[in-house]
Amino acid sequence: MKRRRSASYAVLTSTLALVIGCSGGAEQKVLDDFFRASRMRDNTTLGNFATVSFDPRTDGVVQTFSVVSVSEERVRPLPLKKMADDLAAAKAADEAFSTQKKAYQNANMAVIDRVTKAQAAGKAAAAKDKAVADAWAKWSADASTHTKAVSEANRQLNANRGIAELSLARLVGEGDVTALDGELASKDVVIDATVRSPDGNTVSKPMKAVVQRAKMKNASGQELTGRWIITALGPA
């Protein structure tokens, strides 16, 4: 009987250890690291796995917390290589257009100068200059379109590249993540935190963190799964 009780106790202990070890999982670990570094105002460490902060001077100090819930993963495409190619194409088109515009400007410099001065004085271009004035207006409008295309392509790439670089830092190091395509996974983690506020009071505060990680493939088809990073934190 004693041996049977010992065996049952061993099974129960192992089961409890497994449950405790799995509770929170990777989300618990990254949040533990986040709040520990936040307490110490260690921005260098925070920069390795978070794009947000929890400043003890303004937000307080999280003393303890427990994970209440973790949502299912939400996945969206993260085509960094395509975004980089789109940016390169937009820049190339802009450069080619700028060359053509400059050639037209050089060929019609005197007329364009007269048109510009007339516009500055609030006057219409002379009849003999109208064709060039209209053409130059179109060149200028098209230049703005090309500039906006480059700016938007650059914005799209930068908005997505930073998260991938942070998530994949241990796998690619200083490598260029814009050579990769894949997907971005996101989860919402709701926690119940005990927070010591800057004025010294201790309060219970429910919060929600968003954690994300990149899952990419390199040119040879090798899968690269990044680590979870914290990209948002606020009230639940």
3 state SS for 111-168: HHHHHHHHHHCCCCCCHHHHHHHHHHHHHHHHHHHHHHHHHHHHHHHHHHHHHHHHHC
The SS3 assignment for 88 reads helix
Distance CA 141, CA 221 (A): 43
- Scanning the structure block, which residue is given the tokens 């899968």? 223
Is residue 168 included in any domain, yes or no? no
Is residue 48 included in any domain, yes or no? yes
Is it the case that residue 173 has pLDDT exceeding 70? yes
Domain shared by 63 and 101, yes or no: no
Neighbour count for residue 69 (Cβ, 10 Å): 10
pLDDT of residue 7: 43
Domain shared by 115 and 151, yes or no: yes
Q: What is the CATH number of the domain that holds 43?
A: 3.10.450
pLDDT of residue 228: 96
Per the structure, the complete domain to which residue 73 belongs is given by: 26-79+181-235
* Residue range 137-159: mean pLDDT, rounded: 96
Domain shared by 33 and 50, yes or no: yes
Domain shared by 120 and 106, yes or no: yes
18-22, 36-40, 62-66, 94-98: segment of lowest average pLDDT: 18-22
Boundary (domain end) residue, out of 102, 131, 162 = 162
Domain shared by 97 and 146, yes or no: yes
Domain shared by 106 and 152, yes or no: yes
Domain shared by 92 and 158, yes or no: yes
Rounded to a whole number of angstroms, the CA Rg of the chain reads 29
Is it the case that residue 160 has pLDDT exceeding 50? yes
Please tell me whether the overall predicted TM-score, pTM, comes out greater than 0.75 for this model.
no
Domain shared by 157 and 97, yes or no: yes
Is residue 1 included in any domain, yes or no? no
Q: What whole-number percentage of the chain has pLDDT above 90? A: 82
Total of domains in the chain: 2
Boundary (domain end) residue, out of 135, 162, 189 = 162
Is residue 5 included in any domain, yes or no? no
* Residue range 174-194: mean pLDDT, rounded: 93
Domain shared by 50 and 118, yes or no: no
Neighbour count for residue 97 (Cβ, 10 Å): 16
* Residue range 177-200: mean pLDDT, rounded: 95
Is residue 171 included in any domain, yes or no? no
Domain shared by 124 and 106, yes or no: yes
Is residue 31 included in any domain, yes or no? yes
Is it the case that residue 24 has pLDDT exceeding 80? no
Boundary (domain end) residue, out of 130, 162, 194 = 162
Domain shared by 74 and 86, yes or no: no
The mean pLDDT of the chain is: 89
Is residue 17 included in any domain, yes or no? no
Domain shared by 72 and 100, yes or no: no
Is residue 20 included in any domain, yes or no? no
pLDDT of residue 206: 97
pLDDT in tens, 65-116: 999 999 999 999 999 999 999 999 999 999 999 999 999 999 999 999 999 9
Contacts of residue 191, Cβ cutoff 8 Å, sequence gap at least 6: 31, 65, 66, 67, 68, 206, 207, 208, 209, 236
* Residue range 186-197: mean pLDDT, rounded: 97
